[in-house]
Structure 1
């Protein structure tokens, strides 16, 4: 199933180096992608932290620190870490890409496994964990999903040390339900985990491989957790009758609820596993459990078709081809005839076995080859490399790319690393280089049409500003930034300046009647709104007291101006200021809402108010003028 749809990272060059080809898996902490290192031309896995987690600086620091520690853990059964870094909101690890499947895939399709196949998986897992334990690491999340089985038969453990800061045992999702099935009791009860927690998880994985089911089940995570705390893991032989006691003992030892009763670390458990394996006969190792399901293959491609090299289909090693009963020497023929017949049967059986083995190998692997990594190479180089792998170039397409140089391979179908039938054909997409477009001349074009014109060229409208223009019609484009003819890459933003038309000078309308003021504005091309609420003003009642745009302001055609109507002046009591100093009297009158005029008589040497035009204590219109008189000496 294609899981790459709608993923913003697919097709992107991360950190200027890693070309993301496809999404492989999604987890609670990160998403894993198949990618190509364009510098070294190799396929790898990119584990990209979810952006919402990347905002936590402490989390990112731990992620990076533990990644560096795991990178120093060089072991053939540990998924290697090559690089780590960040590109904007994307924090990533570059890791070894293991083409194949997970142990979960095998269990889902096979059910229970023969003991030999279970040991073939368990031992390299314990070897990897043992190396980690001796180096001071604890995995904390061992489960079949983290056991990778490569097409070449190698078993590797993934996600070392990177699950420490994540996980939620109280979530009710199926993913968490699967995770809690492998938690040790002390992890559940106390939240602690050391090397023995990994040992417990391996014991549960071994039980699942032998029986095809988890030891504790439940409808909710809480039920599973309760059983881990209060119930011992049952013996595998209770589900698969006839399993040797050595396997029951190994599972019981690894899954003891008391951590002190378990092997100290994976190295100790590996030693016990090898002892148990050595104690079993060939028949016991290859016994097919009733829970095993026949492997299903589908025509051209089966994602687990490589597993027979790792987990062979059970074969009864003690079976013999039936020989015909010996009737005794025939007349005239001696014992040599019987020996020849027996020899013929043996040779036929060997040839038949070889033929069947070759046929099975061809069906599963022999007829397939992997598409080599050719991204970034020239067409000639890519064609030669594909030919060396036994593949032909079918069709060649071309597309624009901001990442790959003109003439180099920017995409392959099937993608690098995918399997294809031998002598199959591969489609190459060659880069035309970055697509460059020119900014069109949009002057005089209406705004909506200008937006469509930009989209047609592969550009996007940017910031839109408005300005008056006497030469460009209102609503049309005056100019752009960048200017017309400028070369830009696709999806670049182009800022537009749009005309408001010729400016209209707003006249002074205060004191005019509302009908006259309305007619004046409408004749100028403006719209008029009369405010519902009236205000007191010096203007006569019913005339314009205020306007939303002041006299001399510039408006565009169609703009709206609000007129406020006067209720007439408000009558205010006039303060008595006779006998006050000039400044004091002015302050009193202005505070009451009056304008003040001062009259002085010669010789202008006095500073005391001797009279006022409106007698103190009487009412006068607010805003009207009051004259105060200052007589000379």
Structure 2
């Protein structure tokens, strides 16, 4: 797999790990130049339609979830029968490895991790998506300490039409009782799983274990977990209360929402009293507002203090981890009750003295976050304080018109008469979505973040936009939206390739119009002379046919027409002209000439008697003209032979004919065409 490139884009560089149905690789996105993680379905599952559907569902579900605590999904697809998902590459280690290497984690860090996972789940639950497989292996701890939840591989939307919606797909050590029983699930199931994760992180030990998955699942259904403090005594009672409430067997006894669980964890981190309203009597070893009360018991004849546990419903209940006869037991009960009553009376007395000493001095500031301004003012004044500065600011967590912050914070110690400043929420800040047209992916990401929104790369598409620039965005540019809104953008792969028309033989204007209508840019080049294509006609084009991207250039080459040197022209009629006139006329017309001579009794000497060609001819053709030498001499029959002399003259001998004419043959020299044979 190393070196393979998926969809001509994602080059695999190294293997990261393997899960139940897929392997995960580190890869390089060769388009955007960034490191990504590629999750590849194992080949034995690729042919299974159900697994394939789940794999696709993971991508579709996770791609819509945007949170700083959720691993982003960038892309997914199929290449050569292999299904893959492209995700954000997260540096760090998973929580399971961290616990295995270090044991129990610092309690505050456990609460921080829990709060961030709650935030991630809140985003998912807000879209009716349950994770269904929350476990420490799916929680990545980054170098900066923040976490990212990954692998929504078995998540499903509530409106899914899949038949087996209740299948037990989670990991047995972390599944909820209802998930183990194959019941319909909601967000409470994820909270239970998170409770198991926090239990393990805080104690270094699983809440339930066994020889196999079935036995572990049965324990999830039937057994209550051992309180964390009995595994690790220094566990904070408040953190223990949160974990135990999340792990209630009955979903109705857990937190109402993951946001409520997050608020409880945040309260623990801020040192505020917990508000676990709605917890059952046996839900946690602590009271609703603070540390657990203790009960007095005896063990081996010695008085001991015991924390309130599911077996101890209140301060008046006696511990049951001892044995004695009935009389002794009755005496012990009376004694215990007396001790407890005495302790309570003492506590009340001490509280009364404290109140008397404090009088109107230092007390705790009331919590007015979430209240209207009027209600907040009344609560602050009723507690003996003065309302200080009232300001406004945007808030994504508190609706407009209600208190989103206060200073000092709730439950802070403050002298009576002190000032409490409050900040009123203006609601979520709105802004205008930036125009991403023509931007590269990197430029788009920066523009979106700078405007206060969350960027999400949504994939590539064929588009009229230039390749590697933004082709489309959602929401549209200029639209008003809440700050923090996710802005999706698509990157263009360029226009779709189209057939190039063949315009060879067209005149230049028609060829240019045809190509431009097809969507191409036209470049015109001047060609050579041609006997086949008239002047102005396209004699060739590049490319000639095939496909080309819309908007790309097609070059047409236009003919200069017939070569002038080969073009037919009129031959002057030089018969009757003198030799010199004929030669000039032919030369001016572009012809060569050749002169021959003959005697004529009817044509004056030096006049052209005839020419070898008339009509039209090509420039440079040779025209032969015959010029008269005048009448012939009288003499008898005679045949003469003339020889060319070295000076160009010809000598010949002739015989007189009976009629007085003489015939003679002689060859004239080329330098003197008027020289004739002498007979």
- Asked if Structure 1 and Structure 2 have the same fold, meaning a TM-score greater than 0.5 normalized by the shorter chain, the answer is no
Range into which the TM-score falls when normalised by the shorter chain: 0.3 to 0.5
* TM-score between the two structures when normalised by the length of structure 2: 0.37
| Rg comparison, structure with higher value | 2
